[in-house]
Amino acid sequence: MLLRSAVLLLLVPFAVALPTGPNSYRPRIVDWAGPMFVPAFPAGQPPPQAVILRYQRWSSASGRVENVADRACGVVFEHQVQMQLSLPGGRLLDVSSRTGSEARLLAAYDGLEDFDGTSGLALSSIAGDTTYLVLDDPADIAHFAGGGGGVSLWVLATGQAVFTGPSTLRQEVEVRAGARLTVEYVPGAP
């Protein structure tokens, strides 16, 4: 028998001292870090044989660029996002990284600095995936067994995006990342 738990989205604008809180963050502009909470295995029960963390993460990079020169130019949109998930005490459980690039040609300035027309461009990239982390080391399981009702894990998101090309570019870029964490406990032998 597996015990499953999932908590609805709660955004926390300040530090939380209680053992409960968000297990999910909507995509927001990186760089950010914050706690993610999952319910602890019930106190008074034999410790679980394993802890299965379902770690979903997604990221997006978007940007707009305008060539304000009187000649055509090439641009490259490059973006990178990295996310980390850690146990209490700092042990790193997962590191994921996404990078991408896309090259385009922009015509000479069309007279309107509107990030549109022949001299402007908007690009975006969205990606996401799910990882299942199985923790069966007793030292790791100890973080989840019994106690104050919740386990706080730490998630960190960093990233950047940029258009590279001539100095005559006007650009706006944004990088976002989000995550969701759920837990399943595999009970030990009775």
**Mean pLDDT throughout 62-82?**
95
C-alpha angle with apex 152: 42 to 131, nearest 5 degrees? 95
**pTM of this structure:** 0.77
Torsion sign across C-alpha atoms 143, 39, 54, 32: negative
User: Contact at 8 Å (CB) between 11 and 25?
Assistant: yes
Structure confidence by residue, pLDDT tens digits, 79-127: 999 999 999 888 999 999 999 999 999 999 999 999 999 999 999 999 9
Top mean pLDDT of 13-27, 117-131, 175-189 is at: 117-131
Q: Is 175 helix (H, G, I), strand (E, B) or coil?
A: strand
Give the burial string for 33-50 (b: 16+ CB within 10 Å, else e).
ebbbbbbbbeeeeeebeb
**Mean pLDDT throughout 25-35?**
84
Amino acid residing at 62: S
Give me the count of residues in the chain.
Answer: 190
Residue 147's pLDDT band, with cuts at 50, 70 and 90, is low
Which residues have CB under 8 Å from 174's CB, separation 6+?
29, 61, 62, 63, 161
Residue 158 has pLDDT above 50, yes or no: yes
Structure confidence by residue, pLDDT tens digits, 51-60: 999 999 999 9
Task: Specify the pLDDT at position 148.
Answer: 63
Helical spans, DSSP H, in 78-133: none
Q: Is 138 helix (H, G, I), strand (E, B) or coil?
A: helix
Q: Is 76 helix (H, G, I), strand (E, B) or coil?
A: strand
Task: Specify the pLDDT at position 7.
Answer: 32
Please identify which residue in the block is written with the tokens 């100095």. Answer: 167
Mean pLDDT of the chain: 84
Lowest mean pLDDT among 34-38, 64-68, 134-138: 34-38
